[in-house]
Amino acid sequence: MNAASHRRLVRFETSLPWNRRQRPLPRPGVSLVEVMVVVLIVLILLSLSIPFVRNMRELTRRSNCDQNLVRLSLAMQAYSTDQAHLPTGTASFNATFRFWPEVPSTGEPVAADAELAIASAPEGYHHNWVPALLPYVDQTGLFQSIDFTSSVYSDSNRLIRETMVPVFRCPSDDSAPTNSSYAGLHHSVASPIGTSNDGLLFLNAWVRSEEVPDGMSATILLGEKLSFPGDLGWLSGTRATLRNSGHPINSFPQEEQLSDLSFVGGLGSRHFGGASVLKGDGAVTFLSETVDQPLFQSMVNRNDRADAESNAADAE
């Protein structure tokens, strides 16, 4: 290129607009609107996933709860095989208390409720079905530490009362760790815990399978419970470890009902829509809180078929 041509090119470039001569190359990027859209999508996805995660966690907790009931079923069957009967639901005095043949008994009543309904108060003998299963759930040491010659509320049993036993705790239960999440069924209707109840676990009674006309597979043995204020813990054979089917599942009693120490209450859980129950043959099932109440009660009464046949015969 000669000098004249070079001068013409320089004059041409300098005559171009500045923005054409200095325009930078385009660079990739995102706008604020695009960022906001992405953030909004992420928030929507999170809001949709949180309930799903919660549901999955609850399903896991419910599965673990059912596994606890399966373990208790195996323990109950092992106890029944060894002793030829179910454990008593609760005992009012140690003269008749037979968890184990070698358990010492003074033969002296330690409570004034020997012939009365059980009161949910920290007085009385009140040893119950829960300790009977301890040797079968890897808690033999804890069982051997219990003083069966005195009340569960005695100083000699204080450390036992303050001990948590994991198999008796539902993962969804947020009550005190020394409370039992499970209760034995003592009666099919709302009634105090007594010696004439029609369930499988009640006062001073050791039920044998042949004493269950309905059959163990048709009768509920244990179920989940919601702890009431003042729950006395898993060692106490009161409404802390016994309930009945006289109330709809997941119904919570009124304050005036709880003030009645003979009031027992029904089943319930922190699971949505119902509670898990264990039948006498070891089957675990989930009962809806909308279950037909008479049907629910018939599943707790160990002898309602025989009663129905008797009533029919009387009617004839």
pLDDT in tens, 33-88: 777 877 888 888 777 767 766 676 777 889 999 999 999 999 999 999 999 999 99
Cβ 243 vs Cβ 183: under 8 Å? yes
Q: Does any domain span residue 71? A: no
Number of domains in the chain: 1
Q: Does any domain span residue 288? A: yes
pLDDT band at 220 (very low <50, low <70, confident <90, very high): very high
Return the percentage of the chain with pLDDT > 70, whole number: 77
Asked if pLDDT for residue 15 goes beyond 70, the answer is no
CB atoms within 10 A of CB 76: 24
Q: Does any domain span residue 182? A: yes
- Dump pLDDT digits (tens) for 85-118: 999 999 886 544 555 444 444 444 444 444 567 9
Q: Does any domain span residue 170? A: yes
pLDDT: which is higher, 93 or 215: 215
Retrieve residue 93's tokens.
């005095």
- Dump pLDDT digits (tens) for 279-299: 999 999 999 999 999 999 999
Q: Give the Cα separation of 170 and 166 in Å (integer).
A: 8
Q: Give the Cα separation of 110 and 128 in Å (integer).
A: 15
pLDDT: which is higher, 55 or 181: 181
Query: Which residues span the domain enclosing 242?
Result: 85-315
Mean pLDDT of the chain: 84
Cβ 117 vs Cβ 186: under 8 Å? no
- Dump pLDDT digits (tens) for 225-283: 999 999 999 999 999 999 999 999 999 999 999 999 999 999 999 999 999 999 999 99
pLDDT: which is higher, 219 or 123: 219
Q: Does any domain span residue 222? A: yes
Quick one: how many helices (H) and strands (E) in the chain?
9, 5
pLDDT band at 172 (very low <50, low <70, confident <90, very high): very high
Q: Does any domain span residue 69? A: no
Residue 60: per-residue pLDDT: 87
Q: Does any domain span residue 132? A: yes
Q: What is the DSSP letter of 220?
A: E
Residue 101: per-residue pLDDT: 40
Taken in order 35, 41, 42, 47, the sign of the CA dihedral is: positive
Highest-scoring range by mean pLDDT, 52-56, 124-128, 218-222: 218-222
Residue 58: per-residue pLDDT: 75
Q: Is the pTM of this model over 0.75?
A: yes
Q: Which residue has the tokens 């549901």?
A: 55
Sequence-ordered list of residues with C-beta below 8 angstroms from that of 47, at least 6 positions apart, any chain: none
pLDDT: which is higher, 179 or 52: 179
Q: Does any domain span residue 264? A: yes
Residue 149: per-residue pLDDT: 86
Residue 23: per-residue pLDDT: 58
Q: How far is CA 275 from CA 28, 168, 223, 305, in A?
A: 58, 15, 7, 25
